[in-house]
Amino acid sequence: MEKLKKCQENKDFYQAHQICRTIFVRLRSTSKDEEILDFLFDSARYFLENEQNNSGYDLCKSYVEILNKSKINELTSNLVEQILKLFQLLKFSHDDRTEFACNVLRWSTTIPLTQNEAEDELPIGRNENHSSFSSSILSTLTESSSSSTTTNNVEKRIYHKTGHPKLHEAFAHILWEKERNYHDSRYHYLRSFDGRSFAAMLIEAHQALGYPSEIDLFIGQTVLQYLLLRNFHTAYLVFVTYVEQHPKIRQSPPGPFNQVYPMLNFLWFLLLCLKKILVKRTSNAAGDSSSPAVETTRCFSSLVDAYKPSLERDATLLQYVDRIGVLFFGIQQKPTNSSNPFENLMNSLTANFGRSHRVEIPSNEIDLDFD
């Protein structure tokens, strides 16, 4: 360690890197995982801050290696801070940063959200004043989608197959607030629970990057994608925050919204339809074995027909809505016969969306993420 310190002071980067590797090998057999991670973090940060990207990323890979071999089962604030700092320092090497983020997120799929963590993450309370009707819907969506109850005194663990929501949220904040990277930030926000910040980003991005006529498309795609990920509570939260805070809307549910933005009314009515399904599932779990109400499916079909002109503005919206109908309303997917082989292939892939193989999870654990 004394030699390492002298090499660092003298900017002898090559020798410092070799000593770091030697110390790392020795620490692996004598120290705790947390101590090794702290050493690797400090060393990698030193090289990256001095623009020695190859040496820095080599130690970042060792950092991920220790994470994968460790028995760490909690995403502590210290770990998050270290990962984010390395993620920020890797911004000048796009490929290395992408690989680092993917590897860390892959590791975080093994870190469950305990019941208490899930309750902290879910946006149950709101500071804004809403009608009791609006608040009841948020409560229903939240309670029905959390899946964090206990059975026979066994705590169920919630896993996220695309990575821990806290990490996605942290990456999203950095990418948007510090780097103005809308595309990558949006990817991570969709896999987080931070609907309020996501809505704020969408408002800012629409004003800076979008056309005025796309005001409802920005939120429409987001809400539907959240629903396809079965993230009901955040879908609701991002919608409410967006319509309340966007300077061109500034209206709280339950509407009706300005006739210029029919898509907003469609999204709100869709959330109401899903609320009925969630309430029905809750009652079924409580002992009501009756089948889902037919009128709910009819309501959804009528809703889609009424707002089809608005949905046709973006072909992907119709695809999302069709998939939501299959997933939640029991509507059979219509077969499409096209003379275009490529289109037929894409339709086939879309039909199988969500049916890929899952990792086997013990019965006392739940996987919330949608393939």
> What are the pLDDT digits (tens) for 205-244?
999 999 999 999 999 999 999 999 988 889 999 999 999 9
Confidence of residue 335 (pLDDT cuts 50, 70, 90): low
Confidence of residue 362 (pLDDT cuts 50, 70, 90): very low
User: Which helix (H) or strand (E) element contains residue 126?
Assistant: none
The pLDDT assigned to 163 comes to 93
Tell me the β-bridge partners of 113.
158
Phi/psi at 113 (5° precision): -90, 115
Residue whose C-alpha is closest to residue 142's, from 235, 281, 268: 235
User: Which helix (H) or strand (E) element contains residue 236?
Assistant: helix 232-245
The pLDDT assigned to 363 comes to 34
Confidence of residue 348 (pLDDT cuts 50, 70, 90): low
Among 14-23, 77-86, 177-186, 274-283, the least confident range: 274-283
Mean pLDDT value across residues 36-52: 96
Mean pLDDT value across residues 59-63: 97
Residue 290 has pLDDT above 50, yes or no: no
The pLDDT assigned to 10 comes to 94
Of 276 and 136, the one with more pLDDT: 276
The pLDDT assigned to 133 comes to 41
Q: Where are the alpha helices (DSSP H) in 90-231?
A: 94-108, 115-121, 132-146, 165-173, 182-189, 195-209, 215-228
Q: Which two tokens stand for residue 45?
A: 């940060």
Confidence of residue 176 (pLDDT cuts 50, 70, 90): very high
Mean pLDDT value across residues 69-73: 90
pLDDT tens digits, 89-115: 999 889 999 999 999 999 999 998 855
Mean pLDDT value across residues 188-210: 95
Among 59-73, 203-217, 251-265, the least confident range: 251-265
User: Which helix (H) or strand (E) element contains residue 27?
Assistant: helix 13-30
The pLDDT assigned to 294 comes to 75
The pLDDT assigned to 7 comes to 95
Q: What percent of the chain has pLDDT over 90?
A: 57
The pLDDT assigned to 148 comes to 39
The pLDDT assigned to 364 comes to 34
CA–CA distance, 356 with 187 (Å, rounded to integer): 21
Is the pTM above the cut of 0.85? no
Confidence of residue 57 (pLDDT cuts 50, 70, 90): very high
Residue 17 has pLDDT above 60, yes or no: yes
Among 70-84, 143-157, 240-254, the least confident range: 143-157
The pLDDT assigned to 191 comes to 95
Confidence of residue 258 (pLDDT cuts 50, 70, 90): confident
The pLDDT assigned to 77 comes to 92
Of 296 and 267, the one with more pLDDT: 267
The pLDDT assigned to 145 comes to 38
Residue type for position 46: Y
- Max distance between CA atoms of the chain, in angstroms, equals 76
Q: What percent of the chain has pLDDT over 70?
A: 74
The answer to whether 43 touches 20, Cβ cutoff 8 Å, is: yes
Q: Where are the alpha helices (DSSP H) in 249-340?
A: 262-285, 294-306, 308-311, 315-328
Confidence of residue 200 (pLDDT cuts 50, 70, 90): very high
